[in-house]
Structure 1
Amino acid sequence: MSTPALAARRRTPRGAAAFAVLALLLAAGLLLWSKWLPYSARVGELSGTHAWSGSSVLAGASIEAGSGPSPAAGWEFTKVYALAVWKALVAGLVIAAAVQTLVPRRWLTAVLRRRSRPSSALVGGLLSTPSMMCSCCTAPVATALRRSGAPTAGVVAYWLGNPLLNPAVLVFLVLVAPWQWAATRFVVGALLVVGGSALVARLAGDRVAASAVDEVAAQHEEGRDEGPRRFLPVLARMSAYLVPEYLVVVFAVGTFAGWLFPLGESARSWGVLGVLVALVLGLLLVIPTAGEVPLTQGLATAGFGPAVVGALLIALPAVSLPSAVMVVGALGRRVVGWTMVVVAAGSLVSAGLLTVLV
């Protein structure tokens, strides 16, 4: 029997608990640095002004609605986006490595694998609220959870819950937007995180990509990726394949962002077509945490109706093309595909709900 396997088997309960506490402290410190302190300061600022300062990531990259493909715009978009999310991405990668190496897999499965899919989704959603990441930055953690054997419902709920149930963004909306926006986001977001994630698991058969199954089996057999000695190698390996593909897809999205976001002034009269366009672009476009706030406010100011705003309040933060690419290797195409479909349906519900409330 190999030495790593013996080490994994000889780990005492006290040692396992110590490693888990280390992972928890590491996660708390990273989130304090990247999320909790900055958002606390932002809440204090908005409490005094009740007006959002700053522009959307599209405006920051000087991308105009309907403009043609531009590699220069793609590069500028990538820079603006990277500057906005780099802290959260670092936190996501480090936390993901800690999940795979420091937290015993049996503990993760015990927490997330419940008797029913909705129960697993509820736990995953609750675990997501403190981290408050965008869909891309939480993708490494979702990948680590799935590769550690966590069930589909819990992992998808964690992935969706980070952006949709982000308590800081809900407070931002309460402070700078009509109350109906925050109410719609919370109600539809909670429905998607719990009910939608359970539905995705049911529709996809709770399957995981074959490559991920093989990797998890090999890790269990050989004792790999467990223990603090594996932390840096796992972090390096995860960064080496996730970060490059992430940046490439973000660059591609930025290059074609003018086409992906054709909602100029002429689109105000599109009616139902405008809502469908908003839904599709929301599923593809990548934004930093709270990036939907200035973007939807800008559209509302330009005369777009509540249906378009409601669709984007869900579709924009929930998923994106880069985040889907990042998690597909662990979750599988069926799970990612059904997640996109369920989010699209939730966006339509959000459009209808906000229209009724307003």
Structure 2
Amino acid sequence: MSTIRQPRFALGIVTFVLIAVIGLFYVKWFPYYNRAFVAASQHSIGKSILMGTAASAPAPSWQAALDYALAYGKAIWQAMVLGLLLGSAVQALIPPQWVARALGRSDFGSVVNGGLMSLPGMMCTCCAAPVVAGLRARQAAPGAAIAFWLGNTVLNPAALVFMGFVLGWQWMGLRLALGVLMVFGLGYAANRMVTPKEAEASRDALRQMIDEDAPGSAFSRWLKILGRMTLRLVPEYIVLVLLLGAARAWLFPHIGPDVDNSLLWIVAFAVAGMLFVIPTAGEVPIIQAMLSLGMAAGPAGALLMTLPPISVPSLAMLGKSFPRRVLAFVSVSVVGFGIVAGLLAVALGF
């Protein structure tokens, strides 16, 4: 690296770090710190965004779609803006060889790095998606990117604390134990699914990317990448959130004691949770409300592991970042973890 490029790289790195630290402090760390005291004192962090205190979601309609999209958007818009800023900044301001060194290998070490790097983020699946797309564009290995994506939600330290105070520490323990297996296990498996030809193509793309990085263009590239990401990801995201908001009554029928511990209900709620989209830690008040209405622990355990990590919108946002078979594998595996969580909740007497 020439002496001309060094100051510019340094400025880009400092800018990225400032955005990450200040943004996460304002959007995540400070609000969640305060909310932890609310959870401890009130054993609640708010109403269920899914259906409030009602026993069923509103019937599918344009109004139901709009109501959910507005409530969801109000909860996550700041984090989504931060995710877009970071996802584009990763591509423009961080030297690609740095990403490759930390996350580019197809071994378990890169998966561990990706999972650990996700812990400070604490983003919902859709807000983390732009960052994941940025990491993949900088040739992060599929497994490391998957671990980063899933780790943001299922290993979210704030969500785990909220869960302990609101639902009970046994639920937090179940989530943590299965979450570690999900994040690092699925990340490792995703790396094993990549063929040598695909890995070599990624290395060639990385070398070309390094060679084509023109000096002095980092911030202009950042603005261009930010604009492209926003135009590509946000419109489809809004449409899918609207559709899921309208379809709430189909995904989650009437909640009550009739939703028991049968395998059928556990599987149904595992699939519904994987498809649906919620804000960060939204699963906590949703499960609390459903349990208060008499729903059994098995379906609640399924939602514990499937509501946060992925959703239809986040899968669509990352459709170009991973091979389809990897995203299909992750989707089916998340449902499997939900079923296991539901069965364990029943077996352990939650």
User: What is the TM-score of this pair, normalised by structure 2?
Assistant: 0.91
Q: State the one-letter code of the partner of 1:41.
A: N
Identity %: 36
User: Structure 1 residue 17: deviation in Å?
Assistant: 3.6
Q: For this pair of structures, how many residues does the alignment match?
A: 347
> CA offsets per residue over residues 180-212 of structure 1, 9 Å max, x none?
100001010011000121113323548879x99
How many Å separate the matches in 1 of 2:68 and 2:207? 39
How many Å separate the matches in 1 of 2:92 and 2:22? 18
Name the structure 2 match of 1:84: 75
User: Structure 1 residue 287: deviation in Å?
Assistant: 0.3
Structure 1 residues 9, 285: closer, same or farther in 2, change over 3 A?
farther
Decide whether the 8 Å contact of 1:78 with 1:251 is kept in 2.
yes
Structure 1 residues 266, 309: closer, same or farther in 2, change over 3 A?
closer
> CA offsets per residue over residues 82-103 of structure 1, 9 Å max, x none?
0010011011011111101100
Name the structure 2 match of 1:160: 150
Decide whether the 8 Å contact of 1:203 with 1:338 is kept in 2.
no
**Alignment gaps of 5+ in structure 1:** 1-7
Name the structure 1 match of 2:16: 23
Instruction: Confirm whether residue 54 of structure 1 aligns to residue 54 of structure 2.
Output: no
Instruction: Confirm whether residue 257 of structure 1 aligns to residue 245 of structure 2.
Output: no
**Alignment gaps of 5+ in structure 2:** none
User: Structure 1 residue 356: deviation in Å?
Assistant: 3.0
Name the structure 2 match of 1:175: 165
How many Å separate the matches in 1 of 2:212 and 2:3? 13
User: Structure 1 residue 214: deviation in Å?
Assistant: 10
Decide whether the 8 Å contact of 2:122 with 2:156 is kept in 1.
yes
How many Å separate the matches in 1 of 2:318 and 2:203? 14
Any idea what SS the aligned residue of 1:304 has?
coil
> CA offsets per residue over residues 207-251 of structure 1, 9 Å max, x none?
879x99998787555437961222222111111111111101101
Which of 54, 58, 64 is matched with 2:56 structurally?
64
Name the structure 1 match of 2:296: 305
Any idea what SS the aligned residue of 2:320 has?
helix
Aligned pairs for 1:126-275 (under 5 A) are 126-203=116-193, 205=195, 219-220=209-210, 222-223=212-213, 227-265=218-256, 267-269=258-260, 271-275=262-266
Which of 65, 79, 90 is matched with 1:74 structurally?
65
How many Å separate the matches in 2 of 1:208 and 1:299? 44
Q: State the one-letter code of the partner of 2:347.
A: V
How many Å separate the matches in 1 of 2:256 and 2:91? 48
How many Å separate the matches in 2 of 1:171 and 1:270? 26
Q: State the one-letter code of the partner of 1:27.
A: A
User: Structure 1 residue 157: deviation in Å?
Assistant: 0.3
How many Å separate the matches in 1 of 2:192 and 2:211? 29
Q: State the one-letter code of the partner of 1:326.
A: M
> CA offsets per residue over residues 48-95 of structure 1, 9 Å max, x none?
22x214211122598934x54212111111111000100110110111
How many Å separate the matches in 1 of 2:94 and 2:208? 17
Structure 1 residues 38, 91: closer, same or farther in 2, change over 3 A?
same
How many Å separate the matches in 2 of 1:253 and 1:61? 19
Which of 261, 285, 306 is matched with 1:294 structurally?
285
How many Å separate the matches in 1 of 2:277 and 2:209? 33
Decide whether the 8 Å contact of 1:102 with 1:226 is kept in 2.
no
Over the residues paired in the alignment, what is the CA RMSD in angstroms? 2.7
How many Å separate the matches in 1 of 2:76 and 2:197? 30
Structure 1 residues 309, 208: closer, same or farther in 2, change over 3 A?
farther
The farther-off stretch of 132-141 and 200-209 is 200-209
Structure 1 residues 329, 229: closer, same or farther in 2, change over 3 A?
same
How many Å separate the matches in 2 of 1:89 and 1:129? 17
How many Å separate the matches in 1 of 2:198 and 2:55? 37
Q: State the one-letter code of the partner of 1:288.
A: P
Structure 1 residues 29, 250: closer, same or farther in 2, change over 3 A?
same
